[in-house]
Amino acid sequence: MTLIKFQNIMSNEIAKRSFFSRPPEPPPMVLVGNPLKTIYIGITKLFKVPFSWTFANLTNPHISIVGITGSGKSYFIKTFLIRANYIWGTSAVIIDWAGEYKAWVRQSGGTIVSLGKGDFINIMDTLGMKPLDRVKQIMNSFDLLTDLSQFPEQRRLTEEAIEQTYTNNGFIVSLKPPEGKEAPTLKDVIKLLNEKLQDGTYEYPAELENAIYRLRQFAREGEDYFSRKSTIDLGKLAQSGLVDMDLSGLPDERFRALAALFILQTLKEKMRFEGWSETKGLKTMVVLDEAWKVASDERSDAITIVREGRKYQFALIVASQNPTDINEAIFSNVGTTFILRIKFEKFINYIQGSLNFSDFIRTEITKFGVGQAAVEMAFQTALRFPETFILEKIHGEEPLYVYVIDMSDVLTQAEITSGIIAKDFQFEADELKNKFIEYNLSDENIEEVFGRINEQGRTIKIVELANLFAGFNVTVEDTILFLKSLGIDDMVISRIISRVIGAVNG
């Protein structure tokens, strides 16, 4: 038999006791923010609180995002970058492995750098650093991406040759070079090693030959993406608004990783050089979406940025389908993690192991639809509340699609190249739709035109469009007025009309 024992307890004692051992969401005071200073993300699932993100009360501004393909990682990143730019004027550099941000960046008026398709990086550019420091970084990249470190003599030969090449080109390796001084390239390094081989005095020619062979992989004609004069000003990258570093044109993962590492090194130097400023928000965000070894190897500068970024208002966003690709140091140091839908047991185990959320949240994660997420935040506060909660949906920006009316088939080559006559006209969806309504197209007609345009990647040739108008029984007069309203020249309109089937005779 159990005896019930009564106690006298002061009410302030009771107040300290937690009746719900796990309150399900952080309090609104940390979730809701001033819309002029925080980034709106979505509504929480349980209490329907509008959640806005800021790093002000977090341990740091970095973000990791995990979720299966199609769960909404890239969509979230785009939304986030747009709002951060709007609110804080934050610049962003996207290290775009698969070229999946290109169209969006173009639409948003950002800059696209297409490595391997017209743009080159000289990895020997010093970017204002002492050549000696740059040599270390280059060697670090080789260690990370090749097996060079297993061949100490080859490694030594390579390092020494890179350093010597700087010296031969008038650099003082222990001093910052004067601004604008042009760096040598890996081709010069190879030349130097070849000369050493030719002169025959070095005692292990096989080592030398192998060292040359390794370097040559990055300098071969047609694959010399990193051993030519840079076509872009990397020093300006961190303050150029929205920049897409499109790596999809590089031939394989190794080349992409080398580019990504170089970009991170550059940004890190820039970050340290510029130091702290008074700005309230974030200055620059670096996005690594599916970044293979670059996010997983601890020698990568992704980790340096995570460690030091806060004090420079520099944030890293890492996204991956596979959480185990994200180095533990990143994972456990980021201030915010967005967990979208995850299916694989072992991936959930890994995340739950490092973030410690409840089994309730674990089950939810496996059932998420597109755009649903669990959010885990590392708050810097003495208050205690759960740090993981569920978002009903990430409320994104609807993409602003650009619709193009292509004039090229009614212009002469000379007209196109001269640029005097517009070779296309661009509209947003609503704008174009309003024009159609104005010139008496019915709802079904409009739907048909948009169907056709969407099928062709939101582009339509002007003659095809004029023919659609004729098919809808729009009069020639109305079609002409429509074309005029687009701003098309009378002379060109007559060419279009002459190619509308039935217009000339009927």
Determine which residue in the list 172, 370, 420, 504 makes contact with ligand ATP, applying CB under 6 A: 370
CB distance 65 to 330 below 8 Å: no
Residue type, position 33, single letter: G
The one of Mg ion, ligand ATP, none whose footprint includes residue 310, by CB under 5 to 8 A per kind, is none
Q: How far is the CB of 337 from ligand ATP (least distance, A)?
A: 15
**317 or 410: whose CB is closer to ligand ATP?**
317
Determine which residue in the list 54, 74, 90, 321 makes contact with Mg ion, applying CB under 5 A: 74
Task: Write each residue from 269 to 308 as x if it is in contact with ligand ATP (CB under 6 A), else as -, in one continuous string.
Answer: ----------------------------------------
Q: Closest Cα partner for 424 from 443, 403, 438, 440?
A: 403
* 371 binds ligand ATP per the rule CB under 6 A: yes
The one of ligand ATP, Mg ion, none whose footprint includes residue 254, by CB under 5 to 8 A per kind, is none
Cα angle 288, 292, 297 (rounded to 5 degrees) comes to 95
**33 or 396: whose CB is closer to ligand ATP?**
396
The one of ligand ATP, Mg ion, none whose footprint includes residue 26, by CB under 5 to 8 A per kind, is none
Per-position DSSP letters for 276-340, written without gaps between them: --S-SS-SEEEEEES-THHHH-TTSHHHHHHHHGGGGTEEEEEEES-GGGS-HHHHTT-SEEEE-
**55 or 75: whose CB is closer to ligand ATP?**
75
**75 or 312: whose CB is closer to ligand ATP?**
75
* 67 binds ligand ATP per the rule CB under 6 A: yes
**72 or 184: whose CB is closer to ligand ATP?**
72
CB distance 74 to 321 below 8 Å: no
Determine which residue in the list 8, 11, 18, 69 makes contact with ligand ATP, applying CB under 6 A: 69
**70 or 152: whose CB is closer to Mg ion?**
70
Sequence-ordered list of residues with C-beta below 8 angstroms from that of 23, at least 6 positions apart, any chain: 385, 386
Sequence-ordered list of residues with C-beta below 8 angstroms from that of 432, at least 6 positions apart, any chain: 403
Determine which residue in the list 33, 61, 72, 323 makes contact with ligand ATP, applying CB under 6 A: 72
For strands 284-289 and 336-339, give the pairing: unpaired
Determine which residue in the list 60, 74, 114, 445 makes contact with ligand ATP, applying CB under 6 A: 74
Q: What is the 3-state secondary structure (H, E, C) of 7-38?
A: CCCCHHHHHHCCCCCCCCCCCHHHHCCCCCCC
CA end-to-end distance (rounded Å), the chain? 104
**124 or 394: whose CB is closer to ligand ATP?**
394
Q: Closest Cα partner for 271 from 136, 129, 144?
A: 129
Q: How far is the CB of 473 from ligand ATP (least distance, A)?
A: 36
**DSSP character at residue 82:** H
* 505 binds ligand ATP per the rule CB under 6 A: no
**370 or 383: whose CB is closer to Mg ion?**
370
**72 or 110: whose CB is closer to ligand ATP?**
72
* 71 binds ligand ATP per the rule CB under 6 A: yes
For strands 242-246 and 336-339, give the pairing: unpaired
How far is it, in rounded angstroms, from Cα 500 to Cα 347? 59
* 110 binds ligand ATP per the rule CB under 6 A: no
In the block, tokens 């020093």 appear at 235
* 73 binds ligand ATP per the rule CB under 6 A: yes
CA torsion angle for 290, 31, 399, 339 (degrees, to 10)?
30
Cβ count near 245 (within 10 Å): 27
Q: How far is the CB of 210 from ligand ATP (least distance, A)?
A: 38
Question: Environment class of residue 491 by beta-carbon count within 10 Å: exposed (0-12), middle (13-18) or buried (19+)?
Answer: exposed
Site for ligand ATP in 148-187 (CB under 6 A): none
190-199: long-range contacts (C-beta < 8 A, 24 or more apart)?
Answer: 190/215, 190/216, 190/219, 192/161, 192/164, 192/165, 192/168, 193/157, 193/158, 193/161, 196/161
The one of ligand ATP, Mg ion, none whose footprint includes residue 70, by CB under 5 to 8 A per kind, is ligand ATP
Q: Closest Cα partner for 30 from 50, 2, 15?
A: 50
Site for ligand ATP in 379-408 (CB under 6 A): 393-394, 396
**70 or 152: whose CB is closer to ligand ATP?**
70
How far is it, in rounded angstroms, from Cα 28 to Cα 21? 18
Sequence-ordered list of residues with C-beta below 8 angstroms from that of 86, at least 6 positions apart, any chain: none
Total of chain residues touching Mg ion, rule CB under 5 A: 2
Pick the piece of the chain touching ligand ATP (CB under 6 A) from 67-75, 174-182, 201-209, 455-463: 67-75
The one of Mg ion, ligand ATP, none whose footprint includes residue 69, by CB under 5 to 8 A per kind, is ligand ATP
The one of ligand ATP, Mg ion, none whose footprint includes residue 371, by CB under 5 to 8 A per kind, is ligand ATP
* 63 binds ligand ATP per the rule CB under 6 A: no
Q: Which residues bind Mg ion (CB under 5 A)?
A: 73-74
Question: Residues interacting with ligand ATP, by CB under 6 A?
Answer: 67, 69-75, 321, 370-371, 393-394, 396
